[in-house]
Amino acid sequence: DTAVSQTPKYLVTQMGNDKSIKCEQNLGHDTMYWYKQDSKKFLKIMFSYNNKELIINETVPNRFSPKSPDKAHLNLHINSLELGDSAVYFCASSPGQGFEAFFGQGTRLTVV
């Protein structure tokens, strides 16, 4: 059973489009995260939710909007996609804030 699963694994889309990435965890964790890993492999936190409540919101363009319908799900919606949004987006979860994080397999987003 996949602990943290995100879909899709690959996403190729044109500039200006709106797209969503979904994430689900079956570990019973309270905290979920979105990370962005750019071409230089630097993994940077974007958002963190604890029990459906937003607790970390880094300086991310407001075109990025996370939504947590319940504590097992954290989706990421991106409006008006730009070339610079191309990266691998990782969802992760942990038992609580800042504990060991378990990562999904990543979504490779390519904006053309």
Partner 1 sequence: GQNIDQPTEMTATEGAIVQINCTYQTSGFNGLFWYQQHAGEAPTFLSYNVLDGLEEKGRFSSFLSRSKGYSYLLLKELQMKDSASYLCAVRDGDYKLSFGAGTTVTVRA
Binding site for partner 1 (CB under 8 A): 33, 35, 40-45, 48, 56, 90, 97-98, 100-106
14 versus 56: smaller Cβ distance to partner 1? 56
Shortest Å distance, C-beta 16 to partner 1: 28
Token pair 């378990």: residue: 102
Rounded Cα–Cα distance for residues 97 and 27 (Å): 15
Least distance to partner 1, CB of residue 48, Å = 7
CB of 36 to partner 1, least distance (A): 11
The least CB distance from residue 86 to partner 1, in Å, is 16
Would you say 14 or 28 has its CB closer to partner 1? 28
Q: Cα dist. 105→2, 6, 35, 57 in Å?
A: 10, 7, 12, 22
Choice between 91 and 111, CB closer to partner 1: 91
